[in-house]
Structure 1
């Protein structure tokens, strides 16, 4: 990393604050972080310009109950991995695309669709028929206990966290997913590339008023239809190794496992899934040595859980619609339309 790219403690604190209050005005965060609003705006512009951090609208907690989420493992010839990943990243249903360590699965995808039938059509009629695809395994998520919008960088102290207050919980009316209109979708589409677009800019883009935009966004987030997520590159998180554990646990224990799996600070995802291995959990770790350590700790704390596979990510090509380079820095977007 060049000196001009160096990440400061203020940068880390700013990102953590935005993970809790994604659309807070700079003037609200300035007293908390001890600098001016102008300084925060400049810092955020630098972080986003260098692809180190970005903020976007993503499906909220209501999505996993009323729509369909799946994790798809794809196999291909070794020489085709990069080419296939780039092609799959252009598909709007594949919201996240990760290249994994060779030796079994080659790509791990997060796929969102309106319903199981639509997801099945995507997998069997589009994905599986792509050149170079030699195998596909689809794991439907039956419960999503933790995901990326809940992950925190851990840079703020207890006083700062208390001052920010708890994040809004939302999720009062999951049926709101069924009543989205063209304006709702247009707003969400504009906020996927840049979740901090202001009310005036959103009003201009959608041909409505700032008051209407404010009211619509409040409804979308309070209902759990959408939430906002601040993501970071490994250079900022200090956690370059992503590992996804697949495990098997008695059905009676699955609902309780997430209380342990999701409380660890490295946790990015915990889901109950279909298949013989009915638990899936993703962690961001500091190095490869931490993979074994994390697995050992999980098995010690959860005797009924048996780890059946470890899928190590070597490069994230696309994360929730954002394209990343080999260093995990954001370079652009590839449209997703989960709503």
Structure 2
């Protein structure tokens, strides 16, 4: 179903999400037409997709929160479907019932917006029995930095490193109507061409190129290539919550984020001040990963293991039971 060329293509797009097929063709040993056809099949079958997501500058103006929701067992699926329609809830996951039944990633332009969403909108939803909300104070790793590992060293050398964005170069509040229109479109499909973006926004291709260049260079937006488990080969997702001395957290992240399965790593508010998500090959690897982490980091105490049973929405993209993309609901973190 997924060939070695498909895997190499996805990895290349993780590094250069908007690269032209003609640029990738020599690297991957295939024609531009073949790559375009392969990508069309992958996207049509919901196996891989590219989208615009908040860049490194988002942490200087925007707000990232993780919300753990308790609900009645019979309400889990219905509540998850309702939450998936809310733009603030960029990711919605069903998790093994325990202290929480649902886990949300919430992105908003500021802290006040998160408070209004959590304490107003979420708290009023039927079926919600309780919530815990923690805020990311530092984000050490997230989905746009995770790599599939299908390209060899020589191919990675040819691709090079992406241009570094200025993490403090842009502010969410500086965005205009054209910027928001571009971001709304690119969040759905990050490979939308400049000519199409120009037509959708009523601007010229030159204007779109200039504004998009500003958004990426300032770190307001970045692009990432996501995929279904059939492509990653890592169907199990687990989030570890742990506690460490405040002075140790910055040191811990160097070990935790270097593990190849690390998808997300954040320092957060609350007594459990470390949150890390790993994509793993099977359920047995959960214990293996925890044992390895604790052996290398005796100062870290794992307090909770949150096993994802199904991702309903990931950065706006709706997923089916197999993790394939089947739709999209707008997100509004900017």
TM-score, shorter chain, exceeding 0.5: yes
Instruction: Give the number of equivalent residue pairs.
Output: 334
Distance 1:107 1:181 in 2: 34
1:125 to 116, 120, 123: 120
Residue aligning to 1:88: 83
Distance 1:272 1:174 in 2: 23
Distance 2:167 2:187 in 1: 22
TM-superposed deviation, 1:172: 5.0
Distance 1:316 1:214 in 2: 34
1:247 to 236, 242, 248: 242
Runs of at least 4 residues off by over 4 Å:
none
Residue aligning to 1:163: 158
1:188 to 183, 186, 192: 183
Residue aligning to 1:14: 9
TM-superposed deviation, 1:121: 1.1
1:316 aligns with 2:316: no
TM-superposed deviation, 1:174: 3.4
Residue aligning to 1:3: none
2:218 to 218, 223, 233: 223
Residue aligning to 2:258: 263
TM-superposed deviation, 1:103: 2.4
The superposition leaves residues 176-226 of structure 1 with CA deviations (integer Å, 9 ceiling, x where unpaired) of: 333111101110111011000111111111111111111111110111100
1:31 aligns with 2:26: yes
Distance 1:124 1:176 in 2: 25
Q: Structure 1 stretches of 5 or more lacking a match?
A: 1-5
TM-superposed deviation, 1:260: 0.7
1:283 aligns with 2:278: yes
Distance 1:203 1:115 in 2: 29
Classify 1:214/1:100 alpha carbon distance in 2 versus 1 (closer, same or farther; 3 Å). Answer: same
Give the structure-2-normalised TM-score. 0.99
Residue aligning to 2:136: 141
Distance 2:294 2:108 in 1: 33
Superposition CA RMSD, Å: 0.8
Give the structure-1-normalised TM-score. 0.97
Distance 1:208 1:44 in 2: 27
1:53 to 48, 53, 57: 48
Q: Secondary structure at the match of 1:338?
A: coil
